Amino acid sequence: MLVNMRDLLSDAQKGNYAVGSFSVANMEMVLGVIKAAEELNAPIILQIAEVRLKQSPLEIIGPLMVAAAKNAKVPVAVHFDHGKTVEKITQALETGFTSVMFDGSHLPLDENIEFTKKIIEIARKYDASVEAEIGCVGGSEDGSEDIAINCTKPEDAVKFENETGVDALAIAIGNAHGNYKSTPKLRFDILSEVEQKTHTPLVLHGGTGISPNDFVRCSKTGIKKINIATATFDRVEQSVRSAYESGSINGYYDLQGAEVEGAYQSAKKHILIFATDNKA
């Protein structure tokens, strides 16, 4: 069933776990992720980032994601990741997304606050939740930019929470999008301080490459949403490649099946690490 992200994250706060938020690019990935969530009886978030719309147009993938969520046997929130423009954020809300992110992490804090407040005002008309980001997560969602990591200042998180009342706050603690060039060393000291000084559910971007132990530690230290993108895209590609290598693809529908299988395996692995199975 399609649910508001606010409700999923509030349950995660009560239960002290983090919900997996899975980036998808096509129907096969949507089917694979939902299959894993249903099999494991797990709540999930389906998301797509604004930079990905050139490959997967919002007017096509958006309704597909919302329909898949409505049909699912488990709670699914549909989230617009790294929203950059009011136009596309509004289009996602019109399509039925139950959550949107405004990424103003590149702006000075006060401008980020002002813009986020405007997005919250728009999203409230749709009863949708809003995620924002402060500090800079490294890399970029589609690998096109190598943005330097700039860790969140705990006092900025307090100010941001007080002035915006945002529903979820992405923070930067040494995490980065894409495959890490070296083992990530997350700043748990910063995460703990933010957790102690704020009440907002926190979001960890750049989930690919973070160790299972660190995921669990994050989820016990205020992180209530974990974004996974590259791991799923890579797993889908690998699944198709090995199906060809093993000679198990005889025609298009075997290829389609291999894509669904890759997304399913990635979502299943992360749901089990996050221990959100049977939390639906």
Among 206, 222, 257, 262, binds ligand 13P (CB under 6 A): 206
The 10 Å CB-count burial string (b at 16+, else e) for 65-101 is: bbebbeebebbbbbbbbbbeeeebbbbbbebbbbbbb
Q: Which residue stretch of 123-131, 205-213, 239-247, 271-279 sits at the interface with ligand 13P (rule: CB under 6 A)?
A: 205-213
Residue 62 in the binding site for ligand 13P (CB under 6 A): no
Tokens linked to 155: 């006092």
Q: Provide the H-helix boundaries in 125-277.
A: 154-164, 188-197, 212-219, 230-245, 252-274
Among 46, 93, 223, 231, binds ligand 13P (CB under 6 A): 231
The dihedrals phi and psi of 55, each to the nearest 5 degrees, come to: -90, -35
Window 21-40: residues binding ligand 13P (CB under 6 A):
23
Q: Which residue stretch of 29-37, 65-73, 87-95, 227-235 sits at the interface with ligand 13P (rule: CB under 6 A)?
A: 227-235
Question: Which H or E run contains 27?
Answer: helix 27-40
Residue 230 in the binding site for ligand 13P (CB under 6 A): yes
> Least distance from C-beta 251 to ligand 13P, angstroms?
31
**81 a catalytic residue:** yes
- The burial of 60, by beta-carbon neighbours within 10 Å (0-12 exposed, 13-18 middle, 19 or more buried), is given as exposed
Cα dihedral 114, 159, 46, 73, rounded to 10, equals -120
Residue 90 in the binding site for ligand 13P (CB under 6 A): no
Among 6, 79, 177, 268, binds ligand 13P (CB under 6 A): 177
Among 142, 178, 188, 238, binds ligand 13P (CB under 6 A): 178
> Active-site positions?
81
Name the residues that contact ligand 13P, by CB under 6 A: 23, 49, 81-82, 141, 177-178, 205-208, 227-231
